[in-house]
Amino acid sequence: MDIALAVTPVVLITLLIGVRGVAAMRTTSDFLVASRRISPLVNSAAVSGEYLSAASFLGVAGLVVKDGMGALWYPVGFTAGYVAMLVLVAAPLRRSGALTVPDFAEARLASPALRRIAAVVVLVIGTIYVVPQFRTAGLVLTAVGHTPYWVGVVIAGTAVSVTLALGGMRAATYVQAFQFFLKLLLFLVPALWLVLHVSTADREAALTPVEFTRFTHETPVDFQYGVTMVLREPTTIVSAAGPETLAPGPLTAHRGDHLTFAAGARVPDVGGAALGGPAWQRPLLDVATGYPLLATWAVLIATMLGTMGLPHVLMRFHTSPDGRAARRTAAITVALLGVFYLFPGIYGVLGRVLVPRIYLSGDTDTVVVALPSQVDTGWAGELFTALLTAGAFAAFLATSLGLLLVMSGALAYDLMPGGLRRLRFTVVFAAIAMVVLALPSARLDAGVLVTWGFTVAASTFCPLLVLGIWWPRLTAAGAIGGVLTGLVASSGSILFALAGPRLGGWPAILVAQPAPWSVPLAFGVMALVSLRGRPPSWAGAAMLRLHLDERPPAPSSAPAYRSSTVRRVARRLNR
């Protein structure tokens, strides 16, 4: 009941703002880039709102429970990407005048083949990125409302496709800008409430982790999907029939199983960092493997450079009126994200103390919504669970909106050019495809899913944009070679990590997080192939054009920019 109360307003407001966007929409440009009239403040709120996905709202806190404090490097990388974006990409990309990334590729290098390849890369990144959003929507509704997994997935898919098909980017911009502040509020207030209401003993325990070795009281664990644990000593399980002692060795729990561990029983191993152990406490990733620095850098490189190549984020910069506004958007985004990312750690350290069972059942992504009811069993706990669920849903919706938009842009604008009507159909089609893919994905590893899309983006669009904007000698052949190499290397490596034999040591890290070698490889191939060819005579002009500011330096034009941002936002919204 309270779940319906939480999710319905978010979905309804999303739809309402979507409908409001319909009136102003006439052309493909309206649909894809909101007629390019979004001010820096609104646009940076929209960028942040779109960017704060399920991975940020729920995933980071879940990864803290699962992998330890090192997981807090993920948001650092997510934010640092916008500094790189500000320096390297924002203004020139906007000045290219292109509507989408494939459009940019063709504008800079005049190669229709590259455009189609870039469109395919958009589809790949979009799929890898949107499936976890829908998956987490399903998991959260299951954890909070005990609905079947598919219900959440289908609700998310429907809300997103209807909003987009009606309102396009114009709707998405206001939905996402609104949702940034909604998400910030829905994340920040419960975090402060939790910190104030948690008992002093629990607060102390959160800050002084001890390894989770024994269940302090009888602990029921519900398994959302199959998990294989290793029992280190005879372990007592309580069931309706009475206590039963299991011999040491592997123990497999199936989807839907309930196991109740007796008080004092030893916690089984599930792989990864032992919860609260010495490796868990260190602010580095994969401490147990012995290569923490490599593992941490791998994640940082993927998230930092990947942000620069995420097609839905890049598209947002095309909605700014000019290059300067795009650059300001990137700078404000760094500040907005910095405020939000102060809080996931709070959920993570409290989750370790209050809901350690989540560590066993494997659905660590639900730790954020599981916390309030542990602190308060009355109405306040329920209220805050509802608020966090609403925020999480806002996160799925905003991110999926942007992703489905670029994916349908790639399909209906780059691969098979058509009008507005075809764009609208494509959105619905893409949403259905994503829902179908999300249905069997419930048990994929959250950490892998989070960085996969980033790694592919870092190995394909990041070199394409950086070299395309800053290196006049880049050729179409070089760009095609580099993008294809990056795509195959990064995706192939991660697929191998998911399906192939288990590796140990540093090869395991470099296979699961290939960014440290796949990004330089893509850059290298792009540069080498380009150097062997000869850029066309207009290549220099095509690159320099990206660096030419729109406004010739006239003193009269400057004050318009310094006018109050708030006033300009108000004017925009009142129109």
Is the distance from CB of 540 to CB of 472 less than 8 angstroms? yes
Q: How far is the CB of 68 from other proteins (least distance, A)?
A: 11
Of residues 195-234, which lie at the interface with other proteins (CB under 8 A)?
A: 204, 207
Is the distance from CB of 550 to CB of 94 less than 8 angstroms? no
536 near other proteins, rule: CB under 8 A? yes
**Sign of the Cα pseudo-torsion (408, 414, 416, 421, in order):** positive
Q: What angle do CA 491, 464, 533 make, to 5 degrees?
A: 110
Residues in the chain, total: 575
Is the distance from CB of 185 to CB of 179 less than 8 angstroms? no
Q: Can you tell me the distance from the alpha carbon of 496 to that of 510, in angstroms, rounded to the nearest whole number?
A: 11
505 near other proteins, rule: CB under 8 A? no
> Six-digit token pair at 550?
């729109």
Residue whose entry in the numeric block shows the structure tokens 């916690």: 267
- Interface segment toward other proteins; rule CB under 8 A; list 223-231, 327-335, 449-457, 477-485: 327-335
Of residues 351-390, which lie at the interface with other proteins (CB under 8 A)?
A: none
Q: Taking Cα atoms as reference points, which of 306, 567, 282 lies closest to residue 462?
A: 306
> Six-digit token pair at 118?
């870039």
Q: Can you tell me the distance from the alpha carbon of 286 to that of 272, in angstroms, rounded to the nearest whole number?
A: 8
Cβ nearer to other proteins, comparing 298 with 404: 298
Q: How far is the CB of 538 from other proteins (least distance, A)?
A: 4
> Six-digit token pair at 482?
């580099």
Cβ nearer to other proteins, comparing 244 with 549: 549
Give the SS3 label for residue 503.
coil
In the set 150, 429, 470, 506, which binds other proteins (CB under 8 A)? 470
- Interface segment toward other proteins; rule CB under 8 A; list 149-157, 331-339, 351-359, 442-450: 331-339
In the set 135, 183, 316, 327, which binds other proteins (CB under 8 A)? 327
Q: Count of CB atoms within 10 A of residue 524's CB?
A: 13
Give the SS3 label for residue 255.
coil
Of residues 269-308, which lie at the interface with other proteins (CB under 8 A)?
A: 281-284, 292-293, 296-297, 300, 304
In the set 121, 337, 403, 527, which binds other proteins (CB under 8 A)? 337
Q: Can you tell me the distance from the alpha carbon of 489 to that of 218, in angstroms, rounded to the nearest whole number?
A: 47
- Interface segment toward other proteins; rule CB under 8 A; list 174-182, 336-344, 391-399, 452-460: 336-344
**Sign of the Cα pseudo-torsion (302, 308, 314, 317, in order):** positive
Q: How far is the CB of 80 from other proteins (least distance, A)?
A: 5
For other proteins, how many residues bind (rule: CB under 8 A)? 55
Cβ nearer to other proteins, comparing 69 with 398: 69
Q: Can you tell me the distance from the alpha carbon of 336 to that of 80, in angstroms, rounded to the nearest whole number?
A: 12
558 near other proteins, rule: CB under 8 A? yes
Cβ nearer to other proteins, comparing 33 with 337: 337
- Interface segment toward other proteins; rule CB under 8 A; list 138-146, 330-338, 387-395, 431-439: 330-338
Residues at the interface with other proteins (CB under 8 A): 69, 72-73, 76-77, 79-80, 82-84, 86-88, 91, 107, 110, 204, 207, 281-284, 292-293, 296-297, 300, 304, 324, 327-328, 330-331, 334-335, 337-339, 341-342, 345, 349, 470, 536, 538, 541-545, 547-549, 553, 558
